[in-house]
Amino acid sequence: MATNIINMNNVSKTYLKNSHVVKAVDNVDLSVKRGEFLGIMGMSGSGKTTLINLIAGFDTPTSGKIMVDGFDLSTFNDEQFSQFRNKKIGMVFQQFNLIREFNVLQNVIVPSIIANKDYSTIVEIARRLLYEQGLEARLFHYPNELSGGEQQKVGIARSLMNDPTIVLVDEPTANLDRKSAEKIAGMLEGMHNNGKTLIVISHDQNILKNANRVITMEYGQLIHSTK
Ligand SMILES: Nc1ncnc2c1ncn2[C@@H]1O[C@H](COP(=O)(O)OP(=O)(O)OP(=O)(O)O)[C@@H](O)[C@H]1O
Ligand SMILES: [Mg+2]
């Protein structure tokens, strides 16, 4: 088993907007060890979300090579990308991305329904994950009936449904109060202790205090690394 679960070599992502070229990710070399907890900081627009979208295969690089868990992402067709994301990647979005028309339980089970798993097993796993988040009384509530922190926890439960190898988390506590933020920090630490590879974009010292390494992005480049 390779030590590095993620290897990015000379990766760039360029967007063309109104004939203006934006180098969202600019010649990045990044290796992440299996089981590592990597923090990413950097000012708005520095390319953090683009970077994790490239790792998740939500976006494809303009140039460079990305290897994730032994796979060269450039070789994937759409179907292979979907399977890869569904099985290997857990994604926690800054804006939660919950489906408004679905209740909490329905939102959480979506990734496993897509993976075609046994329904009663799925519901059992979802209930356990939601219980761990303290949301057992909220199973049949809809996203608009939940606080921001509760919605974020639903997003975290959903990201763990298929027991992903890598969890990518985009500013999990940006809009949360101190107490909710601390709970989320604890959950992330729990994932790390369970052996998940964790990449977390955050400016919250409390969230990144257990990170093995924190990198900073500036104008699409990695400019700084600690530890
Ligand atoms: N789909 C797109 N089309 C055009 N430009 C884009 C697109 N996505 C991102 N960009 C640009 O790429 C740059 C990096 O964006 P990105 O979302 O990765 O930044 P970020 O570091 O996550 O910022 P924030 O902290 O505000 O979330 C920005 O200048 C942004 O405007
Ligand atoms: Mg972002």
- SS3 labels along the chain: CCCEEEEEEEEEEEEEECCEEEEEEEEEEEEEECCCEEEEEECCCCCHHHHHHHHHCCCCCCEEEEEECCEEHHHCCHHHHHHHHHHHEEEECCCCCCCCCCCHHHHHHHHHHHCCCCHHHHHHHHHHHHHHCCCHHHCCCCHHHCCHHHHHHHHHHHHHCCCCCEEEEECCCCCCCHHHHHHHHHHHHHHHHCCCEEEEECCCHHHHCCCCEEEEEECCEEEEEEC
Q: Which residue's alpha carbon is nearest to atom 29 within ligand 1?
A: 45
Select from 156, 15, 184 the least CA-distant residue to 91: 156
Mutation choice for ligand 1 from 21, 22, 43, 173, CB with most ligand atoms inside 8 A: 22
Give the other-Cβ count within 10 Å of 67's Cβ: 17
Compute, in angstroms, the gap from residue 59 CA to the centroid of ligand 1: 12
> Looking at residue 181, what is its pLDDT?
84
Select from 194, 186, 139 the least CA-distant residue to 164: 194
* Atom nearest to 42 CA in ligand 1: 21
> Looking at residue 164, what is its pLDDT?
95
Mutation choice for ligand 1 from 11, 15, 92, CB with most ligand atoms inside 8 A: 15
Compute, in angstroms, the gap from residue 24 CA to the centroid of ligand 1: 6
**Ligand found nearest the CA of 169:** 2
Low-confidence ranges of the chain (pLDDT < 50): none
Give the other-Cβ count within 10 Å of 161's Cβ: 22
Q: Which residue's alpha carbon is nearest to atom 10 within ligand 1?
A: 24
Compute, in angstroms, the gap from residue 25 CA to the centroid of ligand 1: 9
Compute, in angstroms, the gap from residue 50 CA to the centroid of ligand 1: 6
> Looking at residue 19, what is its pLDDT?
87
Please report, as a single letter, which amino acid is at residue 223. Answer: I
- Asked whether 175 and 148 are in contact (CB, 8 A), the reply is yes
> Looking at residue 132, what is its pLDDT?
87
Q: Which residue's alpha carbon is nearest to atom 12 within ligand 1?
A: 24
What is the greatest pairwise CA distance in the chain? 52
> Looking at residue 63, what is its pLDDT?
97
Select from 32, 71, 27, 33 the least CA-distant residue to 47: 27
Compute, in angstroms, the gap from residue 44 CA to the centroid of ligand 1: 8
Domains and CATH numbers, the chain: 4-226 (3.40.50.300)
d(CA 51, CA 225): 16
> Looking at residue 92, what is its pLDDT?
94
With a Cβ cut-off of 6 Å, ligand 1 is lined by: 15, 17, 22, 24, 42, 44-50
